[in-house]
Structure 1
């Protein structure tokens, strides 16, 4: 089923139909936006069709079943026991980022981010008139770790929030329990709230540890952001949720979500989430096998073709952090060649932070035959 080529052009699809808007070219092969070129699982499509047949699409609200399915999913998939009272629904993880930053800090406060990192976060901080403090990850032969000594040196009396991307986008790290515990210890000692973006938590190739699951003490300072969107390719339905045990933090967030009118989800968002968490596990396991094969295919293909492009195999996600440094070209030259010669659209590494110079992010969640076409365009010129 993952080998099927689905034509997404002309469907108001950002990945395909917005190429000229974002890149200035309309004929690029799009391997950029972090959604998958696979059909959404049949169980979700069937649930949406059944709901549509009802014929009335009024205002929706989460049911007791919706809350319980999120709770059960966290326990079953990640061994995390939560209470349904900790859950709040919102219409996206990025809007939740912005609302949380507004709710949990003041203007000119410092928000610490571990760069390179998911780029919409920067705007969420800037647009709320907060200051970005970069705690750059350390890189060694493509493998990234947290620089906790640098973090300690960066914390000031104005530091209020640390944003954790777990698993990490774009570098693909699946943080170990010990790494998370060390990070949390620093946050506890310095009264930092942790906003943990765990939207890729299901797309891991080993055991995932939710930050808030480590201890009661850590849970009390952590706000978790999540969604079934990435996992089941339903991001366009804009149904996300937050999890927070701390009542004060949750109340502040809920107030901000309501103020921004971000807590109203369309009926198909709830329908899709329920179907995904109730019936989607088998599809997810098959997906992960396919993604792992695509990652290995990419590594072997680049090696076989003696390409100068390198990447460290991600421990999570379907996003590959490609390193073009060995080409000897400057970042702008690489970018121009990708667009004008290779005719391929990748995410610009610099958009994730200054650490992304000479890096570009490739989405490998597509049929292997199409992935091979894209890779052949890369190796022809790199």
Structure 2
């Protein structure tokens, strides 16, 4: 099922139909936007079709079943016991993140991000007139760890929030329990709210630990953001949720969600979430096997081709953090060769922070034959 090639052009698809807008070329193989070139599972499509046959698409709201399915999913997949009263639904993880910044900080306050990191996290901070503080990750032969000493040195009286990307996008780390506990301890000591973006939590190849599941103390300072969007390739349905045990934090967050009118999820978003979390586990396990196979295939392909392009296999996600430093080319030269010669659209590493110089992010969630075709173009040029 994952080998099926689906033509997404002309479907208002950002990944394909916005190529010329973003890159200046329309004839590129798009391996950039973080959605998958696989059909959404039938169990979700069937549920949406059944709901559509009702014929009326009025305002929607979550039911007790919706809340309970999120609760059960967290317990089954991540051994995290939550209460349905901790859940708030919203129409996107990034909008929720932006709302949290507004709710818990003032203009000029500092928000700490662990770079290189998903670039909308920068934009939301800047657009809310807050200050970005970079706590760069440490890199050793492609493996990234948190720089705890640097974090301690960066915290000031103006620091209010630490943003955790877990699993991390783009470097693919699944943070260990010990790493998260140490981070949580520092945040407790310095009265920092943790906003934990866990949208890739289901797409992991090792044990994942939700930040707020570590202890009552850490849960009390953590706002978790999540969605079935990445897991089941339904990001366009804009159905997300926040989880927060602390009643005061949740109440303040909910007020901001209401203020910004972000709580209205469309009827198909709720329909898709319920179908995914009730019936989607088998499909998810098959997906993870295919993704792992594509990751291994990419690694072997680059090695056999004696390519100077390198990457370390990620512990999560279908996003590969490609290192082009061995080519000896400047970042601009690499980018131009990718676009003009290889005809491949990748995410520019610099958009994830200054640490992304000579790096580009590749999305390998596509049929293997298409992946091989794209890799062949890359190794031919580099």
TM over 0.5: yes
SS at structure 1 position matched to 2:111: strand
In the alignment, which residue of structure 2 is the partner of 1:245? 245
In the alignment, which residue of structure 2 is the partner of 1:266? 266
In the alignment, which residue of structure 2 is the partner of 1:92? 92
CA distance, structure 1, for counterparts of residue 307 and residue 185 of structure 2: 42
Q: For 1:180-195, what aligned pairs fall within 5 Å after superposition?
A: 180-195=180-195
In the alignment, which residue of structure 1 is the partner of 2:374? 374
Q: For 1:38-187, what aligned pairs fall within 5 Å after superposition?
A: 38-187=38-187
CA distance, structure 1, for counterparts of residue 12 and residue 224 of structure 2: 30
Give 1:113 deviation, angstroms: 0.1
In the alignment, which residue of structure 1 is the partner of 2:335? 335
Residue by residue over 1:182-213, the C-alpha shift from the partner in whole angstroms, topping out at 9 and shown as x without a partner, is 00010000000000000000000011100000
Give 1:370 deviation, angstroms: 0.3
Give 1:93 deviation, angstroms: 0.4
CA distance, structure 1, for counterparts of residue 377 and residue 94 of structure 2: 32
Q: Pairwise CA RMSD of aligned residues?
A: 0.3
In the alignment, which residue of structure 1 is the partner of 2:214? 214
Residue by residue over 1:208-267, the C-alpha shift from the partner in whole angstroms, topping out at 9 and shown as x without a partner, is 100000000000000000000000000000000000001111111101111111000000
CA distance, structure 2, for counterparts of residue 276 and residue 220 of structure 1: 29
In the alignment, which residue of structure 2 is the partner of 1:323? 323
SS at structure 2 position matched to 1:185: helix
CA distance, structure 2, for counterparts of residue 321 and residue 132 of structure 1: 23
In the alignment, which residue of structure 1 is the partner of 2:19? 19
Give 1:343 deviation, angstroms: 0.2
SS at structure 1 position matched to 2:95: helix
SS at structure 2 position matched to 1:307: coil
In the alignment, which residue of structure 2 is the partner of 1:204? 204
In the alignment, which residue of structure 2 is the partner of 1:257? 257
SS at structure 1 position matched to 2:342: coil
CA distance, structure 2, for counterparts of residue 43 and residue 145 of structure 1: 38
Residue by residue over 1:34-89, the C-alpha shift from the partner in whole angstroms, topping out at 9 and shown as x without a partner, is 00000000000000000000000000000000000000000000000000000000
CA distance, structure 1, for counterparts of residue 214 and residue 91 of structure 2: 27
Residue by residue over 1:148-206, the C-alpha shift from the partner in whole angstroms, topping out at 9 and shown as x without a partner, is 00000000000000000000000000000000000001000000000000000000001
In the alignment, which residue of structure 2 is the partner of 1:289? 289
CA distance, structure 2, for counterparts of residue 244 and residue 129 of structure 1: 25
SS at structure 1 position matched to 2:129: coil
SS at structure 1 position matched to 2:231: helix
Give 1:353 deviation, angstroms: 0.1
SS at structure 2 position matched to 1:196: strand
The unaligned stretches of length 5 or more in structure 2 are none
CA distance, structure 2, for counterparts of residue 62 and residue 104 of structure 1: 26
Give 1:379 deviation, angstroms: 0.1
CA distance, structure 2, for counterparts of residue 293 and residue 215 of structure 1: 35
SS at structure 1 position matched to 2:292: helix
CA distance, structure 1, for counterparts of residue 312 and residue 87 of structure 2: 35
CA distance, structure 2, for counterparts of residue 85 and residue 105 of structure 1: 24
CA distance, structure 2, for counterparts of residue 50 and residue 134 of structure 1: 47
